[in-house]
Structure 1
Amino acid sequence: MKPTKYNFHKVVIVGRPNVGKSTLFNRVLQKRKAIVEEFGPTTRDRIGAIVKWSGKTFELIDTPGLDFEKKEDLSKLIEKQIVSGIKEADQLIFMCDAISGILQMDYKICDMLRKADKSIILAVNKVDSRNLMRDMADFYKLGFGEPMSISSLHGLGIGDLLDKVTDNMDPGAGEGSGNREHAEKHAVKLAVIGKPNAGKSSFVNGILEEDRITVSDIPGTTRDSIDTYFEKDRKSFIIIDTAGIRSKGKIKDAVTYFSILRTEETIKKSDVTVILIDAPLGITKEDHRIIDIVQKNFRPFILAINKWDLAEKEGVNKIGYEKVIRENVRFMYNASIVFMSALKKTNLMEVLDLAYKLAEKTSQNFSTSDLNDILKSVEFNPTRLYSVRQTKNSPPELEIIAKNPGDIKTTEKSYLVNIFRKKLHLEGIPVIIKFRKKEFRGG
């Protein structure tokens, strides 16, 4: 069954590179969701966020800069997905740059937008002085009516722009979105991570059945963490595609560095992590590092062995491949392994179903009596264990009252963790156990 997505009124920001589209997007969201850097275009994918303004709700979508003059394969892929975004849009914000004025590229974009036959707001950015205000009349030449002067960097004119957006919405559009907001609040947050070119964006596009994210053979084409809400079989998900995590020696620029930091933040916020492994390459040092990051953040994860069709052609045996993984990856705690192909769309929904089950498991609450029944059945010599209770979930965290917690070694703690994981049927779920010394009252 194809996943379904809520269709909010879509407002898409378009323009040539470096006119400030991502700065506007971040200003509206009041946070740095898109990566912004002064030296040029850094957004490579469509990034969406839900915005509430004047009692209405809409989806604001940032796009990469349009540059028809570049002929590289990646530029063509980016142009293709911008065109897709324009087709989906209910409204367009066409951004220009007051400092550089109207360039030939702006006229080419105008021609594309007119063919789209959409409601268009012309926003002229970087209007930070009265001198630039005087030049606003030039932008009437573009044929989209009165230009709106804004400064995304300093927040000038943003409220007027958002008023214009909501005024253009049909009566009733964007209202009554409570069901979606409730569903999104309880959705499973699924982070999709892996080293560059492991197939993360192909995986996300395959599940969503659309080319929302740039996909090419060039490693590192996804730089932003991209959130997409959707539903499948009445189950809600927020799926996040992230920049590929590289080893420190391969980080060459600030944008890549901040993309990786954003990815690590995403792992912390996720309920479940899908780690994409490039099957023909096997598990590399970078893969081990990624798994370590996920495990240090105590997130349940699925190892999705992508491009398995290519590995099979080379005669790789599935049973042997899995055995090697389980013997060489530390602390797998029976994590799920799925063999799949993002390109051929095989077993993608199996990954999704497993992720939902893991999210349900990790959020469980266990009764104190059941936990203490398990504790009583444990033979444990290092020190006396008095009682246990659950203090948190996602992941489950237990507190055990012990006579002398300092006497318990790391291996003995692992022994207890494994017992509780098995007895509570938490295969694939990290379990945290903390110890507290029993307080004896003097009398």
Structure 2
Amino acid sequence: AICIRGDRPFTLWDTGGIAVPQSRDELSAQVRSVAEKALRESDVQLFVVDGKEGLSPLDEELARTLRKAQKPVVLVVNKIDNEKHEPLAAEFSSLGFEPTFAISAEHDRGISDLVDAISRLLPTPPETGYQPSTISYQPISIAIVGRPNVGKSSLINSIVRGERAIVSELPGTTRDAIDIHFERDGRKFVFIDTAGIRRRGKQSTSAEVFSVMRAERSIRRADICVLIVDLTMGVTAQDKRIAGLIQKARKPAIIILNKWDLVRPKRKGKQAAKQVVEETRARIFFLEYAPAVNTSAITGENVEKLFGLIATIQRAAQKRIGTGVLNRLLRQAFESNPPPMAKGKRLKLFYAAQTRSGGLARESFRSLEFAESVLAKSPSVEKPLLLPEFVLFVNDPRLMNETYRRYLEARIRKTEPYPGLPIVLTLRQRTGVRHDQRTR
């Protein structure tokens, strides 16, 4: 995660809790491997200890390891919630690290002083004479979501080519949503490695319940959601539930069919890959706008295609359908397949137009006009990824049903496919605003 709280922004790398040295299980070994990588690549190390638990043999061993790294070390004694607890920090002075900070992460106590100390210890950036561009491209955030153990962390590690996320055969390894910053061809990405979302009946601990909540929050804050499906298991009810969360949040999406290397030997014929994609899309039909690709996070096969799909979605978000073309295609759609009768009335279209800002902008700003004014006055900020939104002025928005909405969406996609993007249809009553209805 990037910290911008102090004078100088810096990246924090949470290595995960390091277990006792005698532990030889796979997960503990991977935690240690990630921690060792962090020691090699970091400029400053924060050694966090538990003030209430007191000094332990493991703390002393870790202190010896940190000294060998020959990097600046800041000793952080956590859980010092008030002045009465400050004497607890004195026990850790025997470790010999300066500076030492007694903090309470839960109560935000002592954090400002800690951030200032980190800023002072960071190396001075080299004088390159480089002048930054006048355009500040905001990183595009990609939420990696899926059931436990489908390969979310493996995919991210394959992308960044390093063990930033801990990978294990044990389901539920990642409980927190982890932000991993990555740059490729001058473009910045933030990959959000979320906790696996289990079936509600399988959420046996409070930690897993909160993990699901964080994963759902990651979906909401992401620009694009990447749903990973385990091909060895096929599309499960839980996969459909997660796809439903993406659809409900109206998020651009990509479907990654992982572990293709394990499935391919069992599938015969040149069209096997295409058939697998079609079978999956049929099972997750309500996310039909999402492109899908067979991959293997372990071997790296087709992982590079993810960036091509992201770029395709970004380009599609910039495309518009002219008002004249839009009205002609919708009128033809109404004429060739009239809406069904409902309570003796039929939906009637008067006029349609594509908005200049999509559904995401409407949720992010107070109004469409406000959003456009902000973007117009801020050339230094890249415009957000917008959804294709169409406003239909009709006689009564309540006459639109889901089947006809999907029909109209399909007709729009024949003119402009908008791959990876959900289409937003907003219905308004021409003679007033009593019955506004947005779909999708």
Q: What TM-score, normalized by structure 1, do the two folds share?
A: 0.81
1:25-424 alignment runs, 5 A limit: 48-53=1-6, 55-67=7-19, 68-130=21-83, 132-172=85-125, 183=136, 185=138, 187-315=139-267, 317-362=272-317, 364-380=319-335, 381=338, 382-391=346-355, 392-393=357-358, 394-424=386-416
Q: What is the rounded CA distance, in whole Å, between the counterparts of 1:182 and 1:101 in structure 2? A: 49
Q: Mean alpha-carbon deviation: is it higher for 84-93 or for 409-418?
A: 409-418
Q: Mean alpha-carbon deviation: is it higher for 60-69 or for 277-286?
A: 60-69
Q: What is the rounded CA distance, in whole Å, between the counterparts of 1:148 and 1:169 in structure 2? A: 17
Matched position secondary structure for 1:207: helix
TM-aligned CA distance change 1:202 to 1:423, over 3 Å: same
Q: Deviations over 1:105-159 (max 9, x none)?
A: 1110011101111001122223345554345443331121353222223332222
Q: What is the rounded CA distance, in whole Å, between the counterparts of 2:86 and 2:399 in structure 1? A: 73
Q: 1:346 Cα deviation (Å)?
A: 0.7
Q: 1:324 Cα deviation (Å)?
A: 2.3
Matched position secondary structure for 1:96: strand
Q: 1:173 Cα deviation (Å)?
A: 7.4
TM-aligned CA distance change 1:325 to 1:170, over 3 Å: closer
**Counterpart amino acid of 1:203?**
L
Instruction: Please say if residues 56 and 175 of structure 1, whose CA atoms lie closer than 8 Å, have aligned partners that are also in contact.
Output: no
Size of the aligned set, in residue pairs, is 391
Instruction: Please say if residues 58 and 174 of structure 1, whose CA atoms lie closer than 8 Å, have aligned partners that are also in contact.
Output: no
Q: What is the rounded CA distance, in whole Å, between the counterparts of 2:113 and 2:131 in structure 1? A: 25
1:1-40 alignment runs, 5 A limit: none
**Counterpart amino acid of 1:407?**
L
**Counterpart amino acid of 1:345?**
G
Instruction: Please say if residues 277 and 294 of structure 2, whose CA atoms lie closer than 8 Å, have aligned partners that are also in contact.
Output: no
TM-aligned CA distance change 1:126 to 1:52, over 3 Å: closer
Matched position secondary structure for 2:45: strand
1:3 is matched with none
Q: Deviations over 1:365-387 (max 9, x none)?
A: 55444433433443343443111
Instruction: Please say if residues 57 and 175 of structure 1, whose CA atoms lie closer than 8 Å, have aligned partners that are also in contact.
Output: no
TM-aligned CA distance change 1:179 to 1:275, over 3 Å: farther
Q: Mean alpha-carbon deviation: is it higher for 338-347 or for 379-388?
A: 379-388
Q: 1:210 Cα deviation (Å)?
A: 0.5
Q: Deviations over 1:201-247 (max 9, x none)?
A: 00000000010000011111111111122222233322111111111
TM-aligned CA distance change 1:136 to 1:245, over 3 Å: closer
Unaligned runs of 5+ in 2: 339-345, 359-385, 433-440
Unaligned runs of 5+ in 1: 1-47
Matched position secondary structure for 1:281: coil
Q: What is the rounded CA distance, in whole Å, between the counterparts of 2:353 and 2:219 in structure 1? A: 27
TM-aligned CA distance change 1:232 to 1:134, over 3 Å: closer
Instruction: Please say if residues 2 and 9 of structure 2, whose CA atoms lie closer than 8 Å, have aligned partners that are also in contact.
Output: no
Q: 1:436 Cα deviation (Å)?
A: 1.1
Matched position secondary structure for 2:334: coil
Matched position secondary structure for 2:4: strand
Instruction: Please say if residues 194 and 200 of structure 1, whose CA atoms lie closer than 8 Å, have aligned partners that are also in contact.
Output: yes
**Counterpart amino acid of 1:108?**
E
Q: What is the rounded CA distance, in whole Å, between the counterparts of 2:25 and 2:130 in structure 1? A: 41
Matched position secondary structure for 2:150: coil
Give aligned-pair identity as a percent: 30
Q: What is the rounded CA distance, in whole Å, between the counterparts of 1:121 and 1:281 in structure 2? A: 46
2:371 is matched with none
**Counterpart amino acid of 2:304?**
M
Instruction: Please say if residues 243 and 287 of structure 2, whose CA atoms lie closer than 8 Å, have aligned partners that are also in contact.
Output: no
Q: Deviations over 1:27-52 (max 9, x none)?
A: xxxxxxxxxxxxxxxxxxxxx23334
Q: Deviations over 1:5-34 (max 9, x none)?
A: xxxxxxxxxxxxxxxxxxxxxxxxxxxxxx
Q: What is the rounded CA distance, in whole Å, between the counterparts of 2:132 and 2:287 in structure 1? A: 37
TM-aligned CA distance change 1:136 to 1:241, over 3 Å: closer
RMSD, aligned CA: 2.7
Whether 1:429 and 2:385 are equivalent positions in the alignment is no
Q: What is the rounded CA distance, in whole Å, between the counterparts of 1:383 and 1:134 in structure 2? A: 74
TM-aligned CA distance change 1:224 to 1:128, over 3 Å: closer
TM-aligned CA distance change 1:329 to 1:269, over 3 Å: same
Q: 1:254 Cα deviation (Å)?
A: 1.1
Q: Deviations over 1:175-216 (max 9, x none)?
A: 99995996562x322111111111110000000001000001
Instruction: Please say if residues 190 and 271 of structure 1, whose CA atoms lie closer than 8 Å, have aligned partners that are also in contact.
Output: yes
Q: What is the rounded CA distance, in whole Å, between the counterparts of 2:324 and 2:267 in structure 1? A: 51
Instruction: Please say if residues 56 and 173 of structure 1, whose CA atoms lie closer than 8 Å, have aligned partners that are also in contact.
Output: no
**Counterpart amino acid of 2:59?**
D
Q: What is the rounded CA distance, in whole Å, between the counterparts of 1:175 and 1:129 in structure 2? A: 45
Matched position secondary structure for 2:226: strand
TM-aligned CA distance change 1:201 to 1:179, over 3 Å: farther
